[in-house]
Amino acid sequence: MGTSQPSKESKEERIQRLLRKYEEALRENLTEGPQTLEEIERETGKIGKQVQKDLQEEKLNQSGTGYTQDRIACSCGGRAAYTADYRRQLLTLYGSVTLSRAYYYCRACKTGWCPLDARLGLDKDETSLGMRGLIGRLSAYLPDRTATREAQLLTGVKIAPSTAQRISRGMGERIALECKQEEERLRTQGLPGPVGRVSGLHASMDGVFVFVDKKWTEVKLGVAYHLGEDGVEQAAYYATLAKSADFGRLWRTLVYKMGSGKCARFVVVADGAEWIWQEVGKYAPTSVQILDFYHAVEHLWGVARTRFGEGSEGAKTWMRLQKERLLDDKVGEVLADIASWVVATPAAEQMRESTLNYLRRHQHRMLYKTFRQWGYHIGSGVVEAGCKATVQGRMKGAGMRWSSKGAEAMLHLRATWCTSQQTDFVAIARRAAMAA
């Protein structure tokens, strides 16, 4: 004999029964007389939460236990037998619920399952998709313990920090996988870019160190952004612990999705790190390439201090002249000035030659007057701010310890949130559950 099923009740009968229940809740909790707005909000929230919880329980009860008959077909071709009803606790946005589910077991393939789980779209996790979406969103910008406290304040449901960590990691791993799949499709089949023409696109990349697996490890961050009348209008990020060669391919996917293939002016502005310009040369060889003005100035300050003395007026005067030359497209005059320096020590000679080599290597990327006239950024402040906001803002909290897998997953989750706070995290949680 199978388990009991919900009574056959018409929709109208259910509505009337629920209305009676809501009427009781209103009579019990609805107050009269003058109230402050705060008191009204608190009372409204209390009644609303009770209504939501009751309606959820009602809907779940109507789902029954999943029992249909004593034996059902199994995917192996055999027949699975009803064994017992098993109870399962589920944490949802509207409270904790306990489900009673009919369990079937197939002796032929030694597999057991609860049909109700499949019907409700449940996986092995004890949390609902809605709850996982909320936890994923909160974890993208809050430490696990803080995220779970905030979730409890919002929903009244207590989640263990380890559960939040598992949820956010699974979602981050799913995002990482989808990024790799997009890169593969772009390389082999092509991807749809933005609809319509893109007037212009800036992009950059940089590295920042975080403590992973008990050592400082470089995170590589890529950004692509559009400029509007008030500055940066839209920015998309990609972050990973991967090596530069792997990062470069995924950076190409990021900028392509932002319109690099459809814009008249595609600009890459970055500091002088060799790995950056290697990847730009591979994946954006026709872009307008700009060396970050402030990094160029930093190199010149090294010459000024060595040549004229730390903090000297001579160093300051010389630097004012070199900045004027750089901003007037006179890089050649800067090079000639440094080349004319008669050095007195091996250290000074090394400084002179290394600076000359640096400037010559990037000379075509230092036409700052021209770049500014065209409306381009000559500084990599957007990616540097992204390193702080996207990486350090989540990865460098007090007492944080990261494994490489956990850090990689969080970097993808965080970059997704920083790209758009409108991201549907429930959809990500659903895709992560399907892949598990």
Burial bucket for residue 251 (CB in 10 Å: 0-12, 13-18, 19+): buried
Range of the domain at 68: 47-122
Kindly tell me the sign of the dihedral angle through the C-alpha atoms of 16, 20, 21, 25. Answer: positive
If one counts the domains in the chain, the total is 2
Q: Which of 296, 294, 323, 318 is nearest to 306 (CA)?
A: 318
> Are 369 and 260 members of one domain?
yes
296 — pLDDT class (breaks 50, 70, 90): very high
> Are 364 and 219 members of one domain?
yes
> Are 265 and 359 members of one domain?
yes
> Are 282 and 375 members of one domain?
yes
> Are 242 and 363 members of one domain?
yes
In a domain, 24, yes or no: no
In a domain, 395, yes or no: no
Q: Which of 88, 122, 156 lies at the terminal end of a domain, its last residue?
A: 122
> Are 115 and 214 members of one domain?
no
> Are 224 and 80 members of one domain?
no
In a domain, 151, yes or no: no
* Element (DSSP H or E) covering residue 203: strand 198-212
> Are 89 and 219 members of one domain?
no
* Structure tokens belonging to residue 379: 């500084």
> Are 254 and 359 members of one domain?
yes
Whole-angstrom distance, CA of residue 224 vs CA of residue 268: 9
Query: Does the structure show a pLDDT above 60 at 1?
Result: no
Q: pTM for the whole thing?
A: 0.87
17 — pLDDT class (breaks 50, 70, 90): confident
CB 172 within 8 A of CB 411: yes
Q: State the helix-helix crossing angle for 161-188 and 425-435, rounded to 10 degrees.
A: 80
In a domain, 287, yes or no: yes
Query: Does the structure show a pLDDT above 60 at 2?
Result: no
Whole-angstrom distance, CA of residue 418 vs CA of residue 304: 39
Burial bucket for residue 81 (CB in 10 Å: 0-12, 13-18, 19+): middle
Side by side, which strands form the sheet with 95-106?
71-73, 79-92, 95-106, 111-113
175 dihedral zone (left: phi>0; alpha: psi -120 to 50; beta): alpha
**Residue 422 has what pLDDT?**
87
CB 86 within 8 A of CB 106: no
DSSP string for 348-411: HHHHHHHHHHHHHHTGGG--HHHHHHTT---S-HHHHHHIIIIIIHHH--TT--B-HHHHHHHH
- The pLDDT tens digits for 41-57 are 899 988 888 888 888 98
**Residue 194 has what pLDDT?**
73
Our CA angle for 422, 263, 220, nearest 5°, is 60
Residue appearing with tokens 């970050």: 292
- The pLDDT tens digits for 351-398 are 999 999 999 999 999 999 999 999 999 999 999 999 999 999 999 988
> Are 101 and 237 members of one domain?
no
Residue appearing with tokens 């949390």: 127
Alpha-helix residue ranges (DSSP H) falling in 189-269: 244-257
Beta pairing partners, 231 = 228
In a domain, 67, yes or no: yes
The Cβ of residue 64 has, within 10 Å, a number of other Cβ atoms equal to: 18
Whole-angstrom distance, CA of residue 220 vs CA of residue 270: 13
Q: Which of 68, 90, 122 lies at the terminal end of a domain, its last residue?
A: 122
Whole-angstrom distance, CA of residue 248 vs CA of residue 188: 16
129 — pLDDT class (breaks 50, 70, 90): very high
In a domain, 132, yes or no: no
Whole-angstrom distance, CA of residue 188 vs CA of residue 182: 10
Q: What is the mean pLDDT of residues 411-419?
A: 97
In a domain, 143, yes or no: no
Alpha-helix residue ranges (DSSP H) falling in 77-208: 115-120, 129-139, 144-155, 161-188
In a domain, 148, yes or no: no
Query: Does the structure show a pLDDT above 70 at 201?
Result: yes
Average pLDDT, the chain: 92
125 — pLDDT class (breaks 50, 70, 90): confident
Q: What is the mean pLDDT of residues 87-110?
A: 94
Q: Which of 73, 100, 122 lies at the terminal end of a domain, its last residue?
A: 122
Query: Does the structure show a pLDDT above 70 at 118?
Result: yes
- The pLDDT tens digits for 256-279 are 999 998 888 999 999 999 999 999
**Residue 4 has what pLDDT?**
56
